[in-house]
């Protein structure tokens, strides 16, 4: 029987070597992704969230093999992506696409939109001649652009329209999985909702699976079925989006969420300000890597790294104290969300 998981990521690591001296001797490593595991079901959207530098974008690129992994496995549709020979990688790439954050720099300024989409179709030998022209018109219609936009260059479009072109380019090859890498964070707030709605409509229409990488939790909740929260290259909490949003269990998730405005004026969140900066991924703290900033820290946190454990069905948390409720006990120094 075919697995309901389209993607299975296990203990994925990406270390960037730090080199010094004339001979480029390796003196250390930046642990950008440090043992990440998760599954994504067919037709699901998994939000991958965290502050800048947490490793979420790197994880997305390693999954697509845009950059090589240090270790771990990525199984897509039953095939190990990281072990695929180069000849088979192109076929796999057709099935896994990416939409980049910056619609300005991700489009080739020298190509018309039509030529750009034609290129995607040609590389994968999907259509040529009239069939390609028809497909390009269809793709532009799919993302809410007009057929005559095919003759224009990227600089002739607004930011939102350019991101629609980026979406069309990803859709051109009929992928199954799309990694959306902060696709709306460079856009005006008024345009963000349009692109998010477009991505949701396309998902329903075409049965797509998304990994949605973002630092803004309110954006991720809008589109994701589940959320995985990353800190210093690791997942600290993963659960259905509503559970993360309504009952965050990891102190880091609680702090991130405390900065998200709540639309209901009757409910207020107490803002949790984290002390200090994020430690360097080249020299992560021992034990729980969040202990240098965690208001609920205990001695054990400085010594032992917590494992990711299932606290409620489908709700996984990496924190020593979560079972004791210590991370959500009310009190002046507790890390908690208060509703008044
Ligand atoms: Fe905070 Fe300790 Fe939990 Fe880490 S293990 S999040 S330091 S309470």
**pLDDT class for 75, splitting at 50, 70, 90?**
very high
What residues flank ligand 1, with Cβ below 6 Å? 250-251, 288, 290-291, 294, 296-298, 301, 306, 319-321, 327
- pLDDT tens digit string along 175-221? 999 999 999 988 888 899 999 999 999 999 999 999 999 988 888 88
With 60 as the cut, is the pLDDT of residue 334 above it?
no
What six digits make up the tokens of 42? 């067919």
Please name each of the domains of the chain with its CATH number: 5-95+175-339 (3.40.50.300), 106-168 (no CATH)
Concatenating the DSSP letter of every residue in 84-138 gives --HHHHHHHHHHEEEE-S-TTTSS-TTS-HHHHHHHHHHHTT---HHHHHHHHHH
Å from CA of 209 to ligand 1 middle: 32
Å from CA of 253 to ligand 1 middle: 11
Q: What is this structure's pTM? A: 0.90
Looking at the CA of residue 320, tell me the nearest atom of ligand 1. Answer: 5
Concatenating the DSSP letter of every residue in 197-245 gives HHHHHHHHHHT-EEEEEES-HHHHHHH-SEEEEEETTEEEEEEEHHHHH
Å from CA of 284 to ligand 1 middle: 14
What six digits make up the tokens of 289? 């890597």
Mean pLDDT across the chain, nearest whole number? 89
Average pLDDT over residues 39-50: 96
Looking at the CA of residue 302, tell me the nearest atom of ligand 1. Answer: 7
Residues forming beta bridges with residue 177, ordered by sequence position: 96, 209
Given ligand 1 and candidates 320, 324, 334, 335, which is best to mutate, with the most ligand atoms within 8 Å of its CB?
320
Give me the pLDDT at residue 102, please.
80
Looking at the CA of residue 300, tell me the nearest atom of ligand 1. Answer: 2
Sequence-separated (6 or more) residues with CB below 8 Å from residue 259: 271
Å from CA of 331 to ligand 1 middle: 17
Give me the pLDDT at residue 175, please.
96
Looking at the CA of residue 295, tell me the nearest atom of ligand 1. Answer: 1
Give the DSSP H/E element, type plus range, for residue 27. strand 25-41
Given ligand 1 and candidates 234, 276, 285, 288, which is best to mutate, with the most ligand atoms within 8 Å of its CB?
288
With 60 as the cut, is the pLDDT of residue 337 above it?
no
């Amino acid at each position: 029987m075919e697995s309901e998981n389209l993607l299975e990521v296990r203990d994925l690591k990406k270390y960037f070597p730090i080199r010094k001296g004339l001979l480029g001797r390796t003196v250390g490593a930046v642990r950008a992704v440090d043992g990440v595991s998760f599954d994504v079901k067919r037709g699901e959207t998994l939000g991958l969230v965290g502050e800048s530098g947490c490793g979420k974008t790197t994880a997305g690129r390693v999954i697509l093999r845009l950059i090589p992994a240090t270790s771990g496995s990525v199984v897509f549709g039953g095939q190990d992506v990281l072990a695929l020979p180069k000849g088979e990688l192109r076929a796999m790439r057709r099935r896994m696409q990416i939409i980049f954050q910056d619609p300005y720099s991700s489009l080739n300024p020298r190509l018309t939109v039509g030529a750009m989409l034609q290129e995607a179709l040609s590389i994968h030998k999907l259509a040529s001649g009239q069939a390609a022209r028809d497909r390009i018109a269809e793709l532009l219609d799919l993302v809410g652009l007009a057929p005559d936009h095919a003759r224009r260059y990227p600089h002739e479009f607004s930011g939102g329209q350019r991101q629609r072109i980026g979406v069309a380019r990803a859709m051109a090859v009929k992928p199954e999985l799309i990694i959306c890498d902060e696709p709306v964070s460079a856009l005006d707030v008024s345009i963000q909702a349009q692109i998010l709605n477009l991505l949701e409509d396309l998902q329903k229409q075409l049965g797509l699976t998304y990994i949605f990488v973002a630092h803004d939790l309110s954006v991720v909740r809008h589109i994701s079925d589940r959320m995985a929260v990353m800190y210093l290259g690791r997942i600290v909490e993963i659960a259905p989006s509503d559970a993360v949003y309504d009952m965050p269990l990891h102190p880091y998730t609680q702090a991130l969420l405390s900065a998200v405005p709540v639309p209901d004026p009757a409910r207020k969140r107490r803002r949790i300000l984290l002390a200090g900066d994020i430690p360097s991924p080249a020299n992560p703290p021992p034990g729980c890597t969040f202990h240098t900033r965690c208001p609920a820290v205990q001695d054990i946190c400085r010594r032992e790294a917590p494992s990711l454990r299932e606290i409620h069905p489908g709700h996984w948390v990496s924190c020593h104290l979560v079972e004791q409720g210590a991370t959500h006990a009310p009190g002046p120094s507790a890390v908690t969300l208060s509703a008044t």
